[in-house]
Amino acid sequence: MACRDTVHLTCWYLEGKLSPSVECEIEWHLNRCRDCRLILEAATKSLDQHVGTVRAARYRVRYGN
């Protein structure tokens, strides 16, 4: 999965709206792309501030923040 696709799907990923196969593709990409991890971290913080905890615990466990 390309960075552009990962960024486009970030909010849906955090909200659990993607199929398991697409989630796996995103996670594979995130494990290899620091820039996309930073974008995911920013999105997680933003969603937590505006709509409450979404998947912050999952993010922190998998990506260390």
pLDDT in tens, 7-64: 999 888 888 889 999 999 999 999 999 999 999 988 888 877 776 665 555 555 465 5
> Is 44 within 8 Å of 55 (Cβ atoms)?
yes
Distance CA 61, CA 8 (A): 22
Query: Nearest-CA neighbor of 36 among 5, 7, 15, 11?
Result: 7
pLDDT in the model for residue 64 = 55
pLDDT in the model for residue 54 = 54
Judged against a pLDDT cut of 60, whether residue 6 lies above it is answered with yes
pLDDT in the model for residue 31 = 93
